[in-house]
Amino acid sequence: MALSKNIEVSRKVSVDDNGITGTTDVTISAVTYIRVDAVHLANNKTEDSLKRAIAEVSFLGEGIKGERKISFPYNIDGDNPIKQAYLHLKTLPEFADATDV
C-alpha cells in the first residue's frame, strides 16, 4: 500500500564556480511515492477507543526523498493502524490529489 503524487520542491541554492558564488532558485518536480513505514501509539492518557498515533511517512521520487512524522487519530477497534494512517493522509490538503498505488 502506498500513495503517489507529483511533488514540487523549491529552494534557493548557492553555486560556486572557480571562486565566484551566486544564488539561484531550483525547483524539482517528480512523481513521488508516499509510504507509511510504521505507526506508533502516542502518549495517550484517555480511556476511550479513539487515541492518537504517529505515522512514520517516507517520500521517494526522482531527486526527491524525505521522511516525516504525522500525528493522526487512531481507533483501536478500527482497521489496522497502517490503513488508518493512509486514510488520514488522504484527508490532509497536501495529499488531496494523491492516488493509491
User: pLDDT digit string (tens) for 28-50?
Assistant: 999 999 999 999 987 666 666 66
What pLDDT was estimated at residue 64?
Answer: 93
- DSSP, collapsed to helix, strand or coil, labels residue 41 as strand
- For residues 101 and 89, give the distance between their C-alpha atoms in angstroms, rounded to a whole number: 14
Closest CA to 3 of 75, 59, 41, 76: 59
Residue 34, class by beta-carbon neighbours within 10 Å (0-12 exposed, 13-18 middle, 19+ buried)? buried
pTM over 0.75: yes
Domain of 83 in residue numbering reads as 3-100
Cβ contact 35:60 at 8 Å = yes
What pLDDT was estimated at residue 47?
Answer: 62
Task: State how many domains the chain has.
Answer: 1
Once rounded to an integer, what is the mean pLDDT over residues 76-90?
93
